[in-house]
Amino acid sequence: MRSEFDGLMRSPMGRRALLKYLGYASLLGGTGVLAACRQDVTQTGTDQGASPTARPGIEEEPGVLRVFTWAGYELKPVWKPYRQAGYPEPKFSFYTNTEQALAKTAGGQDWDIAHPETSYIQDYVNIGAIQPWDTSLIENFDQLNPMLQRAGQLDGQQYEIVTDWGYSAPIIRTDHLDPSIKSYSHLFDPAASGHISWFDTPWILMMAGLTLGMSGDEVFDMTPEQLEEAKNFAIDRKKHLYNIWVDFTQMWDDVRKGVVWAAYSWPDTFAVLHAEGVPVAYIRPEEGTLSWAEGLVLHAETENYYHAHEYANSWASAEVGQWLIENYAYGHANLNVDLSNVDPDVVKVFGLDDPEYNLSEPVSYIDRWLPNRAAYNRAWDEVKAA
Amino acid sequence: MTTTARVELSAPPVAPRARRRRGLLGLLAAPTGFLALFFLVPVLMVAAYSVGLLTLLPHDLYLSLQPWRDFFASETHVGLFWKSVRLSVVVSAVSVLLAYPIAYALALVAGRRKYTLLLVILAPFLTSYLLRVLAWRVILGDEGLIITLLRDVGVLGPEGQISWLFYSPFAVYVVLAYVWVPFVALPIFVTLDGMDRDLLEASHDLGATRWTTFLRVTLPLSVPGVVAAFVFVFIPTIGEYVTPLLVGGPNGFFFGNAIQGAILQGFDWQFGAAMAMFLVGTVTVLLVLFGRYLNVRAVAE
């Protein structure tokens, strides 16, 4: 039996037949999938969701929201008011970065609500994946920082309810570096050679640009010459690096042990290490602190339109904001958050008591859509490959 | 019985052959369909995407070779490809060198315990790949085993470090070789285990020393296994990106990382697709060459 089988396997006819059928199967499957993808893009790109007149009431909606978000945002305190109002528990799925979320969305993944940074709203609109919110349905919307909400608008429409924000800036060890120097230059300082840690992101090029004297406005849309200059500067300073981190807990550990003296970081790094008594300072660069803001976007084809608004209302509440600040040290857009339980140093360093001033230009530059993101990425590749 | 009847009787029966053929096709349908749907179709989609035959994003170029032109024009990315080739060649060669004595001992020395020992060697595969990689942080890291030991014996000062030990290309090479050695030992073991022992005895009888026997009999006969082992490591490591990301540090950036970055960081999917297809094409060509000229099939048989 075995020899017969082997004989067939080895016969030229058998191989030919196998390849032929494999080819047919691939062609058939490939054509089907390609056609489906093409159709999906077309549909997604043109359909902007059900018209308000055709929209069913909240009681007629499926009710179980599909929330596509970051790990950690599925915890019950984050949607506590929504739960207390009696709505069913959402189904959460996760992504590790916004590009991945966009890729999956473009590929057809369904969700009702996602949680991207403001700089990606344009991309979501470009693929026809999201629709504007009706802010009149969000009771807590009036309590939200209007400046942050403007970052969630496109063409005057509120595509994102901006909920949380933070900075991307250097954390330094004060026993090795001078905290009075308020600059991104800490991340490029030869005096800290061998003890600098960058994050794996093209934002390093923007920080290099700011260090070189470019303005906050310019670094989000650098000319090819400026990008070249920032890239060359980063390549030149790369020799002073300890590493390029991808796991923030490892970076925390490196700063904690004193192996790293200056690191690209977010506010939670300072909150954690400061609470542990590690001698660190979070630098708010005078060039203008690069900051990020993110929030909730509504899928263009959601069947849970009203539930989604209730969920956004929950996220926008001061109660959720307080939990977020106390537990993640992120800022929250609600201006009525009670800061009495937050470490005063954290409040002071991040300016949580006056977010409107601290997030306004030129003190800070909120992340923007990069019209030339691919060029930034290729330049960043060159830095890493150098 | 007439001549015609004799001819009919001696000719192979058509019906059983057709049945066997149908049976074979039936057996192959599921794996072939699976491979076609989850391997060939995705590859075709990536290929189509790289030339704009399939588009997903508004800024994607429709029917364009520009992503390929960009790739070939980029010294950085072509350079990264060769850097990855270098990494794969070195890791594959080192893995084979390390695995050969293990396979030799298992096949020719261990006797009845060889399969038990083989299981022991394969035991690390029961642990997560990431954990095995991250475990090297404990050995090579700044406060790791090696540095601590060197400090204790006075080779390094109390704050002494070895900059190339961790977060370096060296760390990538070491960790990858470690990860692949057990896997590499398998095909070599299979070849050596299946070798005709009478040949070794004949060599001894003819006066050859053990070393000569190894060089002139064992080693040549095990070449197919060695080549297969080399290929088994070379193919997966050429696109490797996780290990460089975790232990490579500032200079641990390879071709696989560039593909990952283009897709997940830069929103530069067509460029990423072109790089990925270039890698797939190269590996395919290498596979064909290995298969044709180095008799890898002999190992499988």
Nearest to B33 by CA among A32, A56, A337: A32
Say whether A385 and B54 touch across the interface (CB within 8 A). no
Average pLDDT estimate for A339-354:
89
Average pLDDT estimate for A198-223:
95
Residue B267: per-residue pLDDT = 79
Average pLDDT estimate for A343-357:
89
Average pLDDT estimate for A273-299:
96
Return d(Cα B156, Cα B171) in angstroms, integer. 19
Of A2-6, A230-234, A340-344, B133-137, the range with the lowest mean pLDDT is: A2-6
Higher pLDDT, A90 or B134: A90
* Superfamily grouping for domain A64-165+292-366: Periplasmic binding protein-like II (3.40.190.10)
Residue B298: per-residue pLDDT = 56
First to last CA, chain B: 44
Return d(Cα B180, Cα B176) in angstroms, integer. 6
Nearest to B229 by CA among B190, B192, B187: B187
Return d(Cα A202, Cα A379) in angstroms, integer. 8
Average pLDDT estimate for B63-70:
95
Q: Give me the amino acid identity at A173.
A: R
Query: Which helix (H) or strand (E) segment is B170 a member of?
Result: helix B169-193
Dump pLDDT digits (tens) for B225-261.
Answer: 898 899 889 999 999 999 998 899 898 899 999 998 8
Q: Minimal Cα–Cα distance from A182 to chain B, Å?
A: 25
Percent of chain B with pLDDT over 90: 54
Residue B176: per-residue pLDDT = 94
Check if A4 contacts B (Cβ < 8 Å): yes
Of A214-223, B2-11, B36-45, B50-59, the range with the lowest mean pLDDT is: B2-11
Of A3-7, A92-96, A271-275, B261-265, the range with the lowest mean pLDDT is: A3-7
Q: Which residues of B touch A257 (CB under 8 A)?
A: 142-143
Dump pLDDT digits (tens) for A166-193.
Answer: 999 999 999 999 999 999 999 999 999 9
Say whether A30 and B45 touch across the interface (CB within 8 A). yes
Residue B1: per-residue pLDDT = 42
Q: Which residues of A touch B266 (CB under 8 A)?
A: 99, 202, 373-374, 376-378, 380-381
Say whether B142 and A259 touch across the interface (CB within 8 A). yes
Dump pLDDT digits (tens) for A232-263.
Answer: 999 999 999 999 998 889 899 999 999 999 99
Categorize the per-residue pLDDT at B295 as very low, low, confident or very high, splitting at 50, 70 and 90: low
pLDDT of residue A3 exceeding 60: no
**Option in A123, A241, A377 nearest B261 (CB):** A377
Nearest to B257 by CA among B54, B87, B69, B67: B87
Say whether A22 and B36 touch across the interface (CB within 8 A). yes
- A299 to A124, A309, B87, B281: CA distances (angstroms): 9, 12, 44, 38
Check if A127 contacts B (Cβ < 8 Å): yes
Residue A216: per-residue pLDDT = 94
Categorize the per-residue pLDDT at A28 as very low, low, confident or very high, splitting at 50, 70 and 90: low
**3-state secondary structure (DSSP) of residue B127:** coil
* pLDDT, chain A, mean: 87
Residue A195: per-residue pLDDT = 95
Q: What is the DSSP letter of B113?
A: G
Residue A315: per-residue pLDDT = 97
Kindly tell me the sign of the dihedral angle through the C-alpha atoms of B177, B180, B186, B187: negative
Integer-rounded Cα Rg, in Å, for chain B is 26
The class (CATH top level) of A167-288+371-385 is: alpha beta
Q: Which residues contact B149 (CB under 8 A, 6 or more apart)?
A: none
Q: Which residues contact B4 (CB under 8 A, 6 or more apart)?
A: none
Cα B193–chain centre separation: 22
Angle among Cα A283, A289, A291 to the nearest 5 degrees reads 115
Q: Please indicate whether the domains covering A64-165+292-366 and A167-288+371-385 agree at the CATH topology level.
A: yes
Around Cβ A85, how many Cβ atoms within 10 Å?
Answer: 12
Dump pLDDT digits (tens) for A38-93.
Answer: 444 433 333 444 455 578 899 899 999 999 999 889 999 999 999 999 999 999 99
Sequence spans of domains, chain A: 2-46, 64-165+292-366, 167-288+371-385
Interface test with B, best of A46, A187, A382 (most B CBs within 10 A): A382
Dump pLDDT digits (tens) for A138-176.
Answer: 999 999 999 999 999 999 999 999 999 999 999 999 999
Q: At residue B244, what are phi and psi to the nearest 5 degrees? A: -60, -35
Contact in structure between A234 and A204 (CB atoms under 8 Å): yes
Say whether A376 and B266 touch across the interface (CB within 8 A). yes
A234, closest residue in chain B (CA to CA)? B250
Q: Which residues contact B183 (CB under 8 A, 6 or more apart)?
A: B125, B232, B233
How many A×B Cβ pairs under 8 Å?
139
Residue indicated by tokens 């360093």: A349
Third-level CATH fold of B37-300: MetI-like fold (1.10.3720)
* pLDDT, chain B, mean: 87
Q: Using CA atoms in the order A151, A157, A158, A160, what is the torsion angle rounded to 10 degrees?
A: -70
Return d(Cα B162, Cα A16) in angstroms, integer. 57
Percent of chain A with pLDDT over 90: 71
Q: What is the 3-state secondary structure (H, E, C) of chain A?
A: CHHHHHHHHHCHHHHHHHHHHHHHHHHHHHHHHHHHHHHHHHHHHHCCCCCHHHCCCHHHCCCCCEEEECCCCCCHHHHHHHHHCCCCCCEEEECCCHHHHHHHHHCCCCCCEECCEHHHHHHHHHCCCEECCCHHHCHHHHHECHHHHHHCEECCEECEEEEEEEEEEEEEECCCCCCCCCCHHHHHCHHHCCCEEEECCCHHHHHHHHHCCCCHHHHCCCCHHHHHHHHHHHHHHHHHEEEEECCHHHHHHHHHHCCCCEEEECHHHHHHHHHCCCCEEECCCCCCEEEEEEEEEEECCCCCHHHHHHHHHHHCCHHHHHHHHHHHCCEECECCCCCCCCCHHHHHHHCCCCHHHHCCCCCEEECCCCCCHHHHHHHHHHHHHC
Q: Which residues of A touch B143 (CB under 8 A)?
A: 257
Kindly tell me the sign of the dihedral angle through the C-alpha atoms of B220, B222, B226, B232: positive
Check if A174 contacts B (Cβ < 8 Å): no
Dump pLDDT digits (tens) for B87-103.
Answer: 999 999 999 999 999 99
Around Cβ B64, how many Cβ atoms within 10 Å?
Answer: 15
Categorize the per-residue pLDDT at B36 as very low, low, confident or very high, splitting at 50, 70 and 90: very high
Higher pLDDT, B24 or A122: A122
Check if A236 contacts B (Cβ < 8 Å): no
Q: Which residues contact B94 (CB under 8 A, 6 or more apart)?
A: B173, B177
Around Cβ A231, how many Cβ atoms within 10 Å?
Answer: 25
Contact in structure between A298 and A113 (CB atoms under 8 Å): yes
Contact in structure between A352 and A285 (CB atoms under 8 Å): no
Tokens of B279: 């890698």
ipTM, 2 dp = 0.78
Residue A35: per-residue pLDDT = 47
Tokens of B32: 């072939």
Average pLDDT estimate for B167-176:
92
Tokens of A331: 């800022």
Query: Which helix (H) or strand (E) segment is B233 a member of?
Result: helix B219-238
pLDDT of residue B294 exceeding 80: no
pLDDT of residue B12 exceeding 80: no
Q: Which residues of B touch A97 (CB under 8 A)?
A: 264-265
Residue A1: per-residue pLDDT = 38
Tokens of B148: 């601590």
Q: Which residues contact A103 (CB under 8 A, 6 or more apart)?
A: B263, B264, B269
Kindly tell me the sign of the dihedral angle through the C-alpha atoms of B30, B36, B42, B43: positive
Q: Which residues of B touch A5 (CB under 8 A)?
A: 24
Contact in structure between B260 and A372 (CB atoms under 8 Å): no
Q: What is the DSSP letter of B255?
A: H
Q: Minimal Cα–Cα distance from A33 to chain B, Å?
A: 8
Average pLDDT estimate for A285-305:
96
Contact in structure between A329 and A268 (CB atoms under 8 Å): yes
Around Cβ B36, how many Cβ atoms within 10 Å?
Answer: 21
Average pLDDT estimate for A314-337:
93
Check if A36 contacts B (Cβ < 8 Å): no
Check if A107 contacts B (Cβ < 8 Å): yes
